[in-house]
């Protein structure tokens, strides 16, 4: 049974998926095919580690291509021009004050496929993302995090 769940993406996130598929189908496929040819030239493929490794890499790459193409098929691109800056939604850029540490942090709320916490992109399904959704400037939200409860005050919402 195929998963029908739509994948919410910003235009930037969608473009990244398209670019990766294009790179894998053109550049990487050719590189892996060349590695397989070189490995075959070494002779007996039944005990050829280079051949086995190249075939495994090929299988992983093809699996990644299928996964990305599936994500692209299910993608729903967020119309950033329709993002309401009065309320936190997917696609919002939210500046919050971490009350405990008294530091300002900025998050972009994105769909789970695009989340990259190291780049400040948090999923709408993450504890912080979920807690911020639907809230407005001035709201203080409590978020259950692994080491207790974090308190965030929403300072700014933009797109």
Give the model's pLDDT for residue 143.
93
Give the model's pLDDT for residue 45.
75
Give the model's pLDDT for residue 94.
96
> What is the C-alpha to C-alpha distance for residues 40 and 49, in angstroms, rounded to an integer?
10
99 neighbors 141 (Cβ within 8 angstroms): no
> What is the C-alpha to C-alpha distance for residues 68 and 82, in angstroms, rounded to an integer?
26
pLDDT tens string, the chain, 159 residues long: the values are 455 688 888 888 999 999 999 999 999 999 999 999 998 888 777 778 889 999 999 999 999 999 999 999 999 998 878 777 899 999 999 999 999 899 999 999 999 889 998 999 999 999 999 999 999 999 999 999 888 899 999 999 998
113 neighbors 123 (Cβ within 8 angstroms): no
Give the model's pLDDT for residue 2.
52
Give the model's pLDDT for residue 23.
97
Give the model's pLDDT for residue 3.
57
Give the model's pLDDT for residue 1.
46
């Amino acid at each position: 049974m195929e998963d029908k769940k739509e994948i919410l993406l910003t235009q930037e996130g969608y473009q990244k998926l398209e670019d990766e598929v294009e790179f894998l189908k053109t550049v990487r496929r050719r590189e892996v095919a060349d590695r397989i040819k070189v490995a075959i030239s070494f002779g007996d493929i039944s005990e050829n580690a280079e051949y086995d490794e190249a075939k495994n890499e090929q299988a992983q790459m093809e699996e990644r291509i299928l996964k990305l193409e599936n994500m692209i098929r299910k993608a729903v691109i967020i119309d950033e021009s329709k993002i309401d800056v009065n309320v936190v939604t997917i696609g919002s850029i939210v500046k919050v004050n971490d009350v405990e540490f008294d530091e300002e942090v900025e998050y972009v709320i994105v769909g789970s496929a695009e989340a990259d916490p190291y780049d400040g992109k948090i999923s709408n399904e993450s504890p912080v993302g979920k807690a911020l959704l639907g809230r407005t400037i001035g709201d203080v939200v409590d978020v259950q995090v692994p080491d207790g409860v974090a308190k965030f005050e929403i300072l700014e919402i933009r797109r």
